[in-house]
Amino acid sequence: MAVETGRIAEHQDSYPRTGDERGQAVVLAVIAMVAMIGMIGLVIDLGYAYYSQRQLQGSADAAALAGASQLPDPNAATTLAQQYGTSPGAQNAPAHVQGVSESISTKCVTTFAGCAPSNAIVVSESASVPTYFLKVFGVNSIPVHVTATACGPCGDRPADIMLVFDRTGSMCEDFNGNNDPSCSKLNNARQGMETFLGSLDPTLDRVGLVELPPAASTSAVCSTPSSSNYNSQSSAWLLVPLTSQYQSGGKIDHNSTIVHDIDCTQAGGSTAYADAIDKAQAELNKDGRANTNHYIVFFTDGAANTGPSYYPVNSPYRQTPCHQGITSANSAKGQGTTVYAIGYTLGAQGGGANRCQAQSPSGPDESPAITAYAALQQIASSGSTFYNQPSPGSLAAIFAQVASQITGPRLIPDSLP
């Protein structure tokens, strides 16, 4: 019996211990479930953080592009960027991301032209995205950060542009109509136009030049113009047809025809808007590229006050030269051209510089009456294409901003110096 009992005990020891193994399986299952929940939580929380980051990136991109459209004015650029950023009430504030901090700054990227004083804007946005599942593991939030940099005058839209330059005698007068031997206003205008040319891309953009009064001939471009030049139908209004030759090695080429003609321009004579605008549009019609945006950038420091004598005496070109300038600009707009108008010291005193009148110097004021300021506003395509520099001073910032609007802003790598 003792032997038999031992066999039974030995046989019992050989049975599987199912209760102990079930306990181990439960422990393993719990561990696996916790790990799976952790993985699912990680995926969900990281996915939400990524979604939030993409929302922030879209907001930063929109803010940077909007702000860049106002460059080179850093204050205007920053203000508009804020309206498109993440601040409360902004147009692109993410709906599901709270506690966003935003910083906006402007800078000069030397890779591109147009630093007057800034040509790029940087928008940085940061937030802490709350977690849901990862809180179990002590992770309450995930930090996200995005940056967007946009350049103002460095877009990739090709353009054909005609500069219309008022180089009348008042460009060598001060604000009160006194003679200014240094011709400060003329020099400021030259600097502005050369800033404009330096802000373009000659592989995309072509520029031509019309001046008023016209030159007596194409060989007299650098001579002082006379009001009598208006009266000859052989006078040269178009000094430079559309060209891409205005930069060399990424810098203004003073040996190019268009830059040379701007550099040597002399001031003289009275003002007639309309024919200059007509000649600019005629060049766009003749040599402008199809499927390319066309622009006229019209610059003047005063009112139209004369007209060519080869028109009939009762012609609006002679009797209402400011209104005819508006009519000519409207004709250009009707042909698809966008017109920018830049007024300079339109409130200048002395010399009747801002009287819209017929047949200067003794002609009556135009009827209906109109001011130079109002004429320029109506010559421009819209309020956003009218600029006014009310006092003597630099025009570089205005011309750089016009270039930025024409070429269009674009996002650039944050690493560009």
Q: What is the pLDDT of residue 177?
A: 84
Nearest residue to 285 (alpha-carbon basis) of 275, 277, 294, 276: 294
- Average pLDDT (70-83) is 87
Residue 8 in domain: no
Q: Does residue 3 fall inside a structural domain?
A: no
Mean pLDDT lowest for which of 151-155, 256-260, 330-334, 389-393?
151-155
d(CA 387, CA 276): 19
Confidence of residue 140 (pLDDT cuts 50, 70, 90): confident
Domain end point (choices 151, 170, 202): 151
Q: Residues near 10 by Cβ (< 8 Å), separated by ≥ 6?
A: none
Does pLDDT of 294 surpass 60? yes
Identify the band that residue 349 occupies on the pLDDT scale cut at 50, 70 and 90: low
Same domain (yes/no): 172, 294: yes
Burial of 125 (0-12, 13-18, 19+ CB in 10 A): buried
Query: Are residues 147 and 294 located together in one domain of the fold?
Result: no
Is residue 413 domain-resident?
A: no
Asked whether residue 341 falls in the same domain as residue 287, the answer is: yes
Judgement on whether residues 247 and 344 belong to the same structural domain of the protein: yes
Domain of residue 34, residue span: 19-151
Say if 352 falls within a structural domain: yes
The domain tally of the chain equals: 2
Whether residue 375 is found in the same domain as residue 235:
yes
212-224 CB burial, b ≥16 within 10 A, e <16:
bbbbbeeeebeee
Is residue 340 classed exposed, middle or buried when 0-12, 13-18 and 19+ CB atoms within 10 A define those classes? buried
pLDDT for residue 3: 47
Taking a C-beta distance cutoff of 8 angstroms, is the pair 304, 353 a contact?
A: no
**Mean pLDDT of all residues belonging to the chain:** 86
Q: Indicate whether 417 belongs to any domain.
A: no
Cα four-point dihedral sign 403, 405, 406, 411: positive
pLDDT at 8: 46
Question: Do 165 and 122 sit in the same domain of this protein?
Answer: no
Of 103, 132, 151, the last residue of a domain is: 151
- Among candidate residues 92, 125, 151, the one where a domain is terminated: 151
Residue 14 lies in a domain: no
Q: What percent of the chain has pLDDT over 70?
A: 86
CATH of the domain at 235: 3.40.50.410
Question: Encoding tokens for residue 361?
Answer: 């110097």
Lowest mean pLDDT among 54-58, 246-250, 259-263, 385-389: 54-58
Q: How confident is the model at residue 1 (pLDDT cuts 50, 70, 90)?
A: very low
Could you tell me if 289 and 328 lie in one domain?
yes
Cα angle at 171 between 166 and 175, to 5 degrees? Answer: 125
Average pLDDT for 349-356: 70
Q: How far is CA 266 from CA 6, 183, 220, 225, in A?
A: 127, 9, 11, 7
- The tokens describing 129, both together, are 């995205």
In a domain, 203, yes or no: yes
Residue 364 located in a structural domain: yes
Q: How confident is the model at residue 291 (pLDDT cuts 50, 70, 90)?
A: very high
Residues 94 and 185 in one domain: no
> Does residue 10 carry a pLDDT above 60?
no
- The residue with greater pLDDT, 381 or 62, is 381
**pLDDT(201) > 70:** yes
Q: Do 384 and 328 share a domain, yes or no?
A: yes
Distance CA 2, CA 8 (A): 10
In a shared domain, residues 230 and 147 = no
User: Is residue 233 domain-shared with residue 145, that is, in the same domain?
Assistant: no
193 and 318 fall within a common domain: yes
Q: What is the pTM of this model?
A: 0.76
